[in-house]
Copies of this chain bind each other. A is one copy, B any other.
Amino acid sequence: MTSIATNVPSALDLSHHINTRSRSRHPSPLKDILQFMAYEGMISLSGGLPHPSLFPIRQLSFTALNSSGKSGELIEIELSDKKEDQDPLAKFLQYGNCKGNDTLRNWCLDFTANILRPAYNDFEVLLHPGNTNAWSKVVALLCEEGEHILCEAVTYPSAQALWIPEGYFAAPVAMDGQGIRDDALEDVLSTWEETHPGKRRPHVLYLVSVGSNPSGVTMGAERRKKIYDLAVKYGKYLRALDFIIVEDDPYFFIQFPDYEINAKTVAAMVSNEEFVTSLAPSFLHFDFQGRVIRLDSFSKTLAPGMRLGYFVANPIFIERLLRATEVETQDPSGPSQAIVLSLLEKWTMGGYLEWLQNLRLQYMRRRDCMIDAFSQHFQLVPAAKSGIPDAFGIVAFLLHSDGQGTTPIFSFVPPSGGMFIWVNFYLSKNPRFKQLQADSSIADPEDKFSGELWRQWIDAKVLLVPGWYYHPWQGEDKKSTKARAATPETSNFRFSYSMPSEEEIQQGVERFASVVKHSWEL
């Protein structure tokens, strides 16, 4: 069933990236004893497991949408201890071996091999209880206190909230409409000794490369290849200065066609093959050395409450992650594993791809609805034709009240994946901002203005997420707009289109636009 490519190499030994703490983990001695339990005729008086006859749950069943996603079409799935064709329910209710259920793990391995097609042959899968936990285990695997983690110029706050108390710092890399720029990354690495004297060169790159949170951008194949080549290049010429790419990828299958202004594209289902081919590939697809740790999750594709996902990585990293799993979490929830496995088996792999196609079209419609709503209140112009230097995607202008000329208000990259639109405001023409800028007692006018604007939206009953939530943590001395070397006279906010209805999106954008008009006095 699995189509692991046979013409690709095995992983390199990249164990020099593993930190002291992780190296010193030993397998639990109790796990050693398992080999003897398997001896024929052995009577084990060793295990401390509760007896399954004393588990109260005897049968579990659920109703689910079929893989077409149509609301009327339901399927029934039942798990018990009687059925011969599946793992019995009691197995999911008992302690596991910390790797996760074998059948489900193999399903994820097959799926990865067939759909993501890694460029090495001995990658492994380990289940985990969600990408939040997975990232915490990766940090505990690779990072040493005081070191810097390479990340996007705006990065996911919960990932950062983990690393700040551990004593790590962000090493942000400049982005464009495809995320991290390879030239900027090489620049950070090649000038590291001068820019950060005495600090260890970063060896971990953390990124959300599809529908990034918050930037909303998706990285194309070519850019991925260039970044992967950098990781290898540094490994090849500079001993142990290579880096590991941690791909936190919950939105991978929520990729969709580009937004075209006023195009009113009708989303259509295509063949699964066409769907898979249309997706920007995972970093794994370029990974011929085993230096990508992929964090995969069912949170966005099935349900977050499952708290279920999986690592894909080389065997050396997976073994150390398993050691951490044994003492930190053990297996993910049994009911979650049972439900997800039996649903995937019922749907089949083709059905799951059909489900994912439909899912991404649903989110695409929501994206289109939000950008269409922008176009009701602003004049949207492709960045290339906007005359605004360094703008990516689309620039939104407001017409002057006298009809004479326009003012650029914000720009954004229309997402081709995920759930977010990251809006970059141009403040230089805003009267209130100019007033704050002229006041020498105000240290960070961009920050102050953004706070005021945010509260004005709240007063108008529309809630956005302020851009400052996503600033990479570089230490107490690098918090202001200037100290962060952020572009002056700009400010960012994040929009999300995943939860509101079409009506709410339209009304919310109307409130948003009306505050903007008032603030810019246009």
A303 CB to nearest chain B CB (Å): 4
The reply on A220 being an interface residue by CB < 8 A is no
Asked whether A33 is an interface residue with its Cβ less than 8 Å from the other chain, the reply is yes
Query: Can you list, as one digit per residue, whether each of A302-320 has a CB less than 8 Å from chain B (1) or not (0)?
Result: 1111111000000000000
Which residues of A from 255 to 277 have beta carbons under 8 Å from B?
A: none
Residues of B within 8 A of A336 (CB): 333-336
Instruction: A339 to B420: give the CA distance in the assembly, Å.
Output: 33
- Chain B residues, Cβ within 8 Å of A305: 92-96, 331, 333-335
Contact between B500 and A461, CB atoms less than 8 A apart: no
Please state the number of chain copies in the assembly: 2
Is B303's CB under 8 angstroms from A43's CB?
Answer: no
- Tell me if A465 counts as interface (CB < 8 A to partner B): yes
From residue A342, how far is it (CB to closest CB) to chain B in Å?
Answer: 11
A42 in the interface (beta carbon within 8 A): yes
For chain A, the count of residues having a C-beta within 8 Å of the partner chain is 106
Give the shortest distance, in Å, between A173 (CB) and chain B (any CB): 22
User: Taking the complex as formed, is A237 at the interface, i.e. its CB lies under 8 A from any CB of chain B?
Assistant: no
Q: Which of A32-83 contact B (CB under 8 A)?
A: 33, 36-37, 39, 41-51, 54-65, 69, 74
By a CB distance below 8 angstroms, the chain B residues around A332 are: 307, 333
A213 CA / B110 CA spacing, docked (Å):
39
Query: For A213, what are the chain B residues with a Cβ–Cβ distance below 8 Å?
Result: 48
Minimum distance in angstroms from A340 CB to a CB of chain B: 9
Q: What residues of chain B lie closer than 8 Å to A167, measured between beta carbons?
A: 21
Docked CA distance A495–B132 (Å): 38
Query: What's the minimum C-beta distance from A161 to chain B, rounded to whole angstroms?
Result: 5
- 7 closest A-B pairs (Cβ-Cβ)? A305-B334, A333-B333, A93-B303, A43-B508, A335-B335, A59-B63, A93-B305
Q: Which residues of A contact B (CB under 8 A)?
A: 21-22, 24-26, 28-30, 33, 36-37, 39, 41-51, 54-65, 69, 74, 92-96, 129-130, 132-133, 136, 157-158, 161-162, 164-167, 213, 299-300, 302-308, 326-336, 339, 343, 355, 359, 362, 366, 370, 419-420, 458, 461-465, 469, 494-500, 504-505, 507-509, 511-512
Further contacts, 5 of them, CB under 8 A, given A43-B463, A50-B300, A335-B335: A43-B508, A57-B303, A158-B327, A307-B331, A335-B336
